Structure 1
Amino acid sequence: MDSETAVEDQHKFTSDDYAAEAMASDMDLWVMFDGRNTPHSELQPWLEAHRPSVLLRDGDPDKGLEPIGWIAVSGSKTGDLLSDKSVDVVGLQESWERLQQAGVPVTFSAVKRLALDHECLCGKWLLHLDSGFKELLRDLKVFGSKAERKRSSDNVVGQSSKKAKTESDTVMLGHTTDRSSIDNGSELVFERDVKSEEDETREQVESVAAERACQDTLHEASPFSAVCTVCLGIMQQFCEASFIEELGNKVKKSGFEFGSVVVSVSFPAQLAVREHAACLILEEACRAEDPHSWKSDLVSLKEAYKWVVYEGLSECLGVPVEGKSPFEVNVNFTHEETKEECHFLASLFPGCFKPAKNKQSLFTRMAVSKALARIGEDQFRSNSSCPPKPMSMPCRAQKISCSHGPIYVAGRYNKFSRSLPQTPWIIDGERRMDSSVEELISEPLMQGFAAEGFNFSSSGREDVDVRTLGQGRPFAVELLNPRRTATGSEMVHKLQLQINGASNKIGVRDLQVVTRDSLLFMKQGEEEKTKLYSALVWSERELQLKDVELLNSTKELQLDQKTPLRVLHRRPLAVRPRVVHTIHADLVDAHQLRLQLRTQAGTYIKEFVHGDFGRTQPNLGSLLNTCADILELDVESVDVNWPPPVNDTPATEANPQQNCLDEGV
């Protein structure tokens, strides 16, 4: 069917009809095949799923189809677009993307230029055009007839367009529409308006000028006609403003608060092999020109990528991109087609590829780099492609993730209950207590900072039946991956009030945000400082005043304590030397004493009182020649000057004795 017959058969649909359809609404949705993030091999099934008979401009509520806007090229004698090897679909898609990236006006002449260059005057291919281009559809004329293509061939592209098909190829730009004549494989033709010879000449000159300008701009904007064999497209496609903007938008939507950012880039391990090959070729070329010109301290691909991306990402996020920051954005690139290119190194240097915990692959970038540092040039060239093999598909940005370093919150806690463990008490898989000091403190903090988890630590620990009074015990909570990072004193004080108001079993004071390094002071105090205890002790025999005097005169008492039987299941068997610095005793009655003991940190007080079947020597029973046991124990003071005091409300202003919820031991 020639062009004249096609126009006659479809005379009722003129170019104005289609232009009107295309410009009906700037709010129409556009379906786009994004070749930057989608393999070109998926184009054929994509086209099949989006043929004109499926998509309707007004939509189809019964079938769940939304209104769709689109642009396609169609013809009657083309068959399957992708089955014709002369049609450069991949090149067409890449040229269209480069045209968009160049930022030049997209004209109909530019579109025609691409169609002719890639011999794609038929079939269907989608272009995502901005609304401004729709206005140009008013001037849309037929091209696809022999006469039109001949003029284009003579004046613009010379011999290249002669390879294009010359039978009934036509172009349709616009929206799909619910007309029975439009179906998959239909021939769609715009009527050509009658113009004067002068108008045709002027239009032809303007078309040639626009096409040449478009061609020059494309050449300057992107000198790469294929995927770079070294970076596999990372420095080509993922340094663009559009990708940086997309990256910035994902970071903004992550929900994290941040004042700076560090970018962590993960390249495919095999990229190191290609980079190594490029360095060998570059070194060879430099030494051929000047044997002394070669410098081995080249900038790595990863560093070069960061240099390019940092400024744009900083501008997009409105915060500095720095070398160190608690907030990290990780971009993970992958390239499945070349993942085996580094496998030859494992057979040459097996010692570099040892299995590691939590590693999904032996071929980490670090392992590959170690192996490449050992390989000689001849050995490398004989086992790997040098130069690297060209690839048709670029890398993918497989994963973009955000994370924030931990925030550390410290303070001091009092425990007023004799039935509350410090940490969750679980025996044989069963929980024995409803709550714990750790949970009562950490869970409100985790919620306040929108953290994903926490780790609780303290300067020592007390048993479930022991209270902690006085100024309390120093503690710290590591909040993992917090999204809310405002750490002002007002916010922290509100959290302290929330913790203290939620339970009368504990209280916190001096709550504050600290650095990780300062946690060292807490751990030093766990073993090096002293602690003050108050204990109510029972004696089998009646106690005399001389017993009280004996205890009060005891100073710097040296103890040898074997690991207590009650903790032997979780601590190694050892004899630990400990010191009781002072003892102050008061008689309560004939069989009870109230003791105040200042001891070295780490001393087992209960075992000092009852002896633990002789495992602690000397003990209170051996000193008084009696059988002794402990009835109550309180921690009165943990002598660690950390964290520093904060001017706020104390944990409790009540009498600590009145806060004892369960006096039984």
Structure 2
Amino acid sequence: MLPLKDTDKPIVQKLLSAGCCARCVLRFCCVSVQAPYRQPPQETLELLRAFIGQKHDGKVQNSSTADDSSHDAAGEPPSKRAKLDPSEAAADSQGHACVCVVCLGVLQGLCGAEQAAKVAEAVREGNYDFDTLLLSVSLPAQLCVREHSCWLHVKKEVRDKGLALTKDDVIQVKEAFKWTMQGLIAKELGGVAVVTKSSFEVGVEFTHPETDSDCHFLGSSCPDCFKPTKNKQSVFTRMAVVKALEKISDASFLELYPCPPTRASSSCVPQDVQCLHASVFVAGRYNKFCRSLPQTPWLIDGERRMESSVEELIAAPVLSVFRADGFNFSSSGREDVDVRTLGNGRPFAMELLNPHRSRFSEVEMKQLQETINKSSDKIRVRDLQIVNR
């Protein structure tokens, strides 16, 4: 049984008729229990049909006629109403799932064992040190537009039933995705916990080129929300689209965008899984014994003036052992190239970016310190240790 109420029936009917997948129907009905999202979507679809009293004979019965009359009563322009054929509901005439008009397939075929196996494989290939992981999801900005359209589609039913329900109560696509995928990924990785806070993050990104233009009408309606920036390929970022949807009136939106959204012929495209470990910080003190060694690489007009530097002599062994993608080097002051640093040495710290190995014992840090010291007679390191930010 699904945790739905009788007042949800007209909402379920309208969403299925509009072409929403089973999991998106649950989201719009504000189902916050995770278990229904984890069961096979076809089973959930059958339960939803039974809930609203539909008899499934190979096609989903739909109430497009009733929907059209309600649109007419609301005064919506006929050109913007979606004409729904009975075969264009949550499944086609053979019972195969069509692409959801809201999540564009993210909560359908892209949210199961096959995708979990791909994520787990990417994690294993990265060969990271981790005990837990955080799953993050990046979705196309146009999903916000489509969700807003579907929300307006059911808003009248919500208002007529006197329900205390707002758009913010709808479960987000990324939350439903995580609820569905967390257990599958944990199983693929041998029981590793997928948590809400971890130093190791696994990012899953989706794009949908077919509907990239869905957001463009907002550019003319809310131009203040879309300002070009140097680092962004498109002005239609997710945050900008959300801001524009908060400003645009329901009437203006319905004039410019179909309600419910039109169907897409393809699902979202999953991009490469990105793994990222939080920075690890290493600190210590260094002595410099050479009078021709700069603290950092010395470049003038793109040409190197000295063959090495304190930074490079320390960083090379550290990067190799931590298997980090890069580093930032900082020190407590600096000395001229021809000045030695004696005594207790100068304090320094390194931020190691995306380290694949992050856990070291005191003995291993001592061994790393000796490796640095044996690599050159120009410097010496002491008190090498892992520290917090």
TM-score range, shorter chain: 0.7 to 0.9
Equivalence for 1:245:
117
Equivalence for 1:293:
164
Deviations 1:563-591 (A, max 9, x none): xxxxxxxxxxxxxxxxxxxxxxxxxxxxx
Structure 1 residue corresponding to 2:200, chosen from 327, 337, 341: 327
Equivalence for 1:425:
298
Structure 1 residue corresponding to 2:134, chosen from 262, 271, 276: 262
Equivalence for 2:227:
354
1:234 counterpart = 2:95:
no
**1-structure distance, mates of 2:121, 2:175:** 23
What's the offset of the Cα at 1:450? 0.8
Output aligned runs, 1:6-85, within 5 Å.
none
Larger RCO, structure (CA 8 Å, separation 6 or more): 2
What's the offset of the Cα at 1:293? 3.3
**2-structure distance, mates of 1:439, 1:362:** 39
**1-structure distance, mates of 2:224, 2:360:** 46
What's the offset of the Cα at 1:448? 0.8
Equivalence for 1:440:
313
* Unpaired stretches in structure 1, ≥5 consecutive residues: 1-99, 104-156, 158-218, 517-665
2:101 alignment partner AA: T
**1-structure distance, mates of 2:158, 2:95:** 23
1:338 counterpart = 2:223:
no
**1-structure distance, mates of 2:265, 2:304:** 59
Contact 1:500/1:506 (8 A) holds in 2: yes
1:401 counterpart = 2:279:
no
What's the offset of the Cα at 1:377? 0.8
* Unpaired stretches in structure 2, ≥5 consecutive residues: 1-39, 44-56, 58-90
- Is the radius of gyration larger for structure 1 or structure 2? 1
Contact 2:280/2:351 (8 A) holds in 1: yes
**2-structure distance, mates of 1:476, 1:305:** 39
Contact 2:136/2:203 (8 A) holds in 1: yes
% identity of equivalent residues: 52
What's the offset of the Cα at 1:378? 0.8
1:280 counterpart = 2:155:
no
Contact 1:334/1:395 (8 A) holds in 2: yes
What's the offset of the Cα at 1:223? 7.0
Equivalence for 1:316:
188
**1-structure distance, mates of 2:340, 2:170:** 63
Q: SS of the counterpart of 2:271?
A: strand
Contact 1:333/1:399 (8 A) holds in 2: no
2:186 alignment partner AA: S
Q: SS of the counterpart of 1:321?
A: strand
Equivalence for 1:375:
248
1:310 alignment partner AA: Q
**2-structure distance, mates of 1:263, 1:359:** 23
**2-structure distance, mates of 1:102, 1:264:** 26
1:508 counterpart = 2:381:
yes
1:444 alignment partner AA: P
Deviates more, 1:334-343 or 1:429-438: 429-438
Structure 2 residue corresponding to 1:366, chosen from 239, 246, 250: 239
**1-structure distance, mates of 2:360, 2:231:** 33
1:475 counterpart = 2:348:
yes
Q: SS of the counterpart of 1:508?
A: strand
What's the offset of the Cα at 1:428? 2.6
Equivalence for 2:337:
464
Equivalence for 2:323:
450
What's the offset of the Cα at 1:313? 1.3
**2-structure distance, mates of 1:456, 1:409:** 10
Output aligned runs, 1:550-565, within 5 Å.
none
Contact 1:417/1:505 (8 A) holds in 2: yes
2:153 alignment partner AA: I
Contact 2:282/2:386 (8 A) holds in 1: yes
Q: What RMSD, in angstroms, separates the aligned Cα atoms of the two structures?
A: 2.3
2:236 alignment partner AA: F
Cα 1:101–1:295 change in 2 (3 A) is closer
Equivalence for 2:36:
none
Deviations 1:344-383 (A, max 9, x none): 1011111111112321111111111110111111111111
**2-structure distance, mates of 1:422, 1:396:** 47
Contact 1:283/1:294 (8 A) holds in 2: no
**2-structure distance, mates of 1:416, 1:375:** 66
What's the offset of the Cα at 1:475? 0.3
What's the offset of the Cα at 1:423? 0.7
Contact 2:112/2:184 (8 A) holds in 1: no
What's the offset of the Cα at 1:291? 2.2
